[in-house]
Structure formats: C-alpha cells, structure tokens
Structure 1
Amino acid sequence: MTKKWYNYFVSVDEADGADQSARTPTTTATVSKSAAQSVAEIASSVAAEPKFTTPVSDPTCFDEIYKAAEIPPAPQGYSILKVAHMLESEHLRNLPSDVKKSSVLVALDAAGAEIKDVIQDAVRRDRALDTYERVQQRAVEELEARKGKENSEIQAQIDKYLTEQRAKIQANNDEVAREKERLASWRLKKQQEEKKIADAVGYFVSENPITTGPAQTQPPVSKTARRSE
C-alpha cells in the first residue's frame, strides 16, 4: 500500500522544452503512471515488515519504535521527519505546494542527499508503525482471550455458587412449609381433642372454661421481665 503523500516529492519531469499547454490526456496519464511506478520501485526496495530487535517500553514514543525497528540513519541526516519539519517551518508553511517541493529539493541537492532516500526513510518508518500496530493488536487480542477465559471461569463459579445458595434457600422454604403443614394438621387434631374435653366439662359447669379455637399468641417476654422473675 502506498501513501498519497509520497507523490508530493516523487514525480517525473516532462521532456525539456515541452509546451505545458500542449499536454494531452495520454501524456498526463503516462506521467502519472511513471510517478506511480517510481513510488512502487522505491517502496519495493524496503523490507515488507521490519523486525523489532528490542522491546518498546513506551508505545507513545515513536522514536523508540523506530529505534527498535532498526531504521538506519538517513543519508546526510535528511529523514522524512526532518523534511516534514522543514515543510511546517515558518519559512515554507504558507507557500504554494510547488514552491515547498522545489525548496526541499534544492536543500537536498545542496546537502548531497536524494529524494529517493527520503522516500525510503518514510516507507521504513511507515512500515515500522504499521508492524508495531499489528503487534499491539495481537497483544490486545491475546489479552482479550485470556481475560475472556478468566471471566468465563469466574462466571461459572458465580453460577455454581448461586445455584447452591438457591438450593439452600429452597430447602429452607420447603422445611418451613412442611412444619406449617404439620402444625395445621396438629391443630385440627387439637381442636377435636379440645371439643371432646369441652363437651365432657360442659355437663358440670355453667360457663365452659375449655377453649376449642386456636391458641392466642402470647407476646414475647422481655429481658427485663425475665430478670425480675
């Protein structure tokens, strides 16, 4: 994949003395094709994926990434970063694109550097960044997989715990229900027993002291009352 800004520098000059107004669509297409070929040739001369020989401790430090990718020093010190700095300087920032381009090319020529080397430096840095992005993406995916597995195990433990606790709650409720059913059955027999007693007592008293209904619930005895007994 080529980046559009490579074409900012890489171009093919037309024949000397050619009339600019005499360009034809075919000529323009040929020039564009030749420029694209130049970019492709420069890009193909750079390794497709750089090797990182040292770990990167600070991913936000691009210089550290470039160093880990062992990007060689640019000839005459004219890296793409230096050229980018030149283009953004107060001397060139507001000038037309063709003037910026010419100014940079003049500076390169004066320093004995070639634009081809600058483009190669740009491609190396771009591929180093792309490669390191893939490295980080793989790291994130591996982390996501590990944490996903860990979360699944935690969720399984939670589900198991909830199942066990729900079973205990259900067992408690079942026990209470059985006791209530037993008490209701006992009360029915109690009422029958009390009626039998009340019927027998009724022959001898004017007011029957025997209760045949549910026993009234007595209020709980307070701790103070128990201590005073």
Structure 2
Amino acid sequence: MLIFDWDGTLVNSIGRIVAALHMAARECDLPPRSDDELKAIIGLGLPEVVLALYPDLDDAELAERYRHSYSTNYLQLESKPSELFPGVADAMKAFRAAGYKLAVATGKGRHGLNRVLADQGWTDFFDTTRCADETASKPAPLMLEEILAECGVPAERALMVGDSLFDLEMARNAGMHSVAVGYGAQPLATLSSCGPRLMVEHFSELRAWLTSHATKPVLGMSEHVERVE
C-alpha cells in the first residue's frame, strides 16, 4: 500500500501556503515568521499550526481569526488549482494499474481535500483518505493506523510518502517505512534524520524504484536506506 501526503508531495502548493500564512499574519497583526519557519510547520492541522507559530498566543478569538484569514487567502490563491508535480499523474495511474492500494494522509481539512480531489478528477481514485480535522494531526500515528485498519493492510506492507518531518515521524510512530521527497516543504538533508526507506528528488524516481523492486519485498521492514540519484 502507498500512502501519500498531499501538499508538497503530490501537488506543488507550498508557495501558496507560505504566502497565505504571511497574509494572515499581516491581517491579524501577528509577528511575521520567515519562509523557513512557515515551511517547517506545513503538514500540521490548522490548530496545531497556530500553536507552533505562536505558542504564547492565548487569545482564542484572534487565533480563530488567523485560521479564518489563512483559509480565505489560500482559497483565493487557489482559484486556479495548484498543479501536480511532474510525473505524478502518470505514476499514480501506474501504481493503480500495478495493484497497489492508494491513500492520502494530509494536514488539510476534509472540505479542502474534497475540493482539490475534485479539481484533479480524483474523487474516487484513492481507496481511502484521512484529514487532520477528522483524526489526530501528524505526527501522531492515528491517521495512518485508521487507513491501515480500513484497508486491512499491516504497517510493514505500506509506505508513507511525504515532504515533511511530520509525515516521516508519523510513519515511524506507526511502525511504517517512509519515502522522503526533497522537492516540497523540506530538503532531504532535513528529512534524512527520520531514516526514510528511500529518498528522492523527483516523483518519477519513486515509480522507477518500485518498478525495479517489483519482485522483491520492498515493503518489508528493513534498516537499509536508499537514495535515488
């Protein structure tokens, strides 16, 4: 089974997320955060984002205004949906044809994920999906545990593919291997600390790796880490 993060892994939306967070901070008169600080929290649910960026903020009304401002600005920036990363569309079709079960585990809310799935024509493409507003936020393992239970797949037979430490930590907490992609929110130099099974700089490299290991137990638990150059 292959489980994917959405933003920064399948879809090139990181720049818009960062821009919307900057806009929300300005509109709410909150201290600005750097691009790197904002990228470091991508993957969390919105309540956890506010706590991570502004841990001393004890004004619930202001926190809610910030969340609303971010959501509003992001939707405006997404009036033309973010594009899939190169190689994603063809690879996902190939994974489905090869018989993999496919899922999404995202920090997005359900409404937001349903919207972008519809934009891509993928409403019925995945076996299941989980969002941060209907379960525990990353890096807690509950999101993955629910996906595995619903699909009847043991953790050792699944891979979590993501671009943030939260994705990879969630996989590790669930006893699952992960694949780190270095083109999204965080670089491979940062993601390598979580010991991913594979590290890639282009989505097509994941497809090639899985194809080359088609007759091997690539989803079995192993300590060997591979880097696709």
**Interval containing the TM-score (normalised by the shorter chain):** under 0.3
Q: Which is richer in strand? A: 2
For the pair shown, the structure with the greater C-alpha radius of gyration is 1
Query: Which structure shows the bigger proportion of residues in helix conformation?
Result: 1
